[in-house]
Amino acid sequence: MIRERIKTETTQNHHDVEAAGYSGQIMSGRLTVEEYKVLITVNLVLNKAFEKQWSTLPFELPKKLQLEQRRKTAALEKDAALLGLAVTGSNEIQFPVESYEAFMGTLYVFEGSTLGGAIIYKQLKQNPNLSALDEFHFYSCYGDQLGMMWKVFLDHLTQIEDTSQVDKAIASAKTTFDITKDAFTRMSQPAF
């Protein structure tokens, strides 16, 4: 039940993030280095903020969820270093993680982003504007483990069956999509 509902009920939020996150430019091969820098900056800030919250969760996560293997900050920091970026900030961003269901809704957005990253990775490798970059650590962070990591996540997500718990996970996913869209909107604006 949750798998279908969360995908359907967050479709518009997902599209909003894609629009703010240069999806059209990525898929058409027109993404510029400056836009790629924004992608890496936003993803680094968001992932760092989310991963920081993991140490203070008010509940235990199943070990089989393999949370430590889902950290993406190190891959993003490698990409930022390749681009000469010094990325700061993330303390002000708080994702909804007050319950297991809310956490899983937030993780749905981050893991979905990683799943989509495999498609983005292929597009980035073919983009002539990015030919000087030979590595895209974040967009290939799970490597050949991508399918397995997504399956493990879905196995845990689909264990949320109670309607009120499903509602919490979906609300959290929507909030996370909105936080992500706002970060792209804010960070893609020229600094004054």
pLDDT at 90: 62
Determine the residue type at 14: H
Which of 99, 101, 110 has the alpha carbon at shortest distance from 75?
110
Closest CA to 131 of 42, 38, 31, 39: 31
- Average pLDDT over the chain, rounded to whole? 96
Would you give the distance in Å from CA 140 to the centre of its chain?
13
CB of 176 closer than 8 Å to CB of 170? no
Query: Average pLDDT in the 11-30 region?
Result: 97
Return the pLDDT at 191.
54
What single letter denotes the amino acid at residue 83? Answer: L
Nearest Cα to 179, choosing from 24, 70, 46? 46
Mean pLDDT of 152-164: 98
Percent of the chain with pLDDT over 90: 93
Residue 192 falls within a domain, yes or no? Answer: no
**Could you tell me if residue 120 is inside a domain?**
yes
Average pLDDT over every residue of 33-41? 98
Would you place residue 190 in the very low, low, confident or very high pLDDT band (cuts 50, 70, 90)?
A: low
User: Is there a domain that residue 12 lies in?
Assistant: yes
Q: Do 110 and 71 contact (CB within 8 A), yes or no?
A: no
- pLDDT at 167 (0 to 100): 99
Q: Is residue 90 part of a domain?
A: yes
Total number of domains constituting the chain:
1
What domain range includes position 51? 2-186
Measured CA to CA in angstroms, residue 176 lies from 35, 125, 182 at distances of 22, 28, 10
- Mean pLDDT, residues 47-71: 96
Angle subtended at Cα 137 by Cα 180 and Cα 117, rounded to the nearest 5 degrees: 50
- Whether the pLDDT of residue 89 is over 80: the answer is no
Which of 3, 76, 36, 2 shows the shortest CA–CA distance to 184? 36
| Half-sphere exposure in the Cβ direction for 145 (13 Å, CA) | 9
**Is position 80 within any domain?**
yes
pTM: 0.96
Structure tokens at 88: 């700061």
Flag whether 79 is in a domain. Answer: yes
List phi, psi (to 5°) of 162.
-60, 135
Pairwise CA distance, residues 98 & 180, whole Å: 18
| Mean pLDDT value across residues 8-12 | 99
Q: Is the pLDDT of residue 19 over 80?
A: yes
Report yes or no on 6 lying in a domain. yes
Q: Determine which of 11-15, 89-93, 163-167 has the lowest per-residue pLDDT on average.
A: 89-93
- Let me know if residue 160 belongs to a domain: yes
Report the pLDDT value the prediction gives residue 176, as an integer from 0 to 100.
Answer: 99
For residue 77, what is the domain's CATH number? 1.20.910.10
DSSP 158: T
Query: In this structure, which amino acid lies at residue 66?
Result: Q
Confidence check: pLDDT of 192 > 80:
no
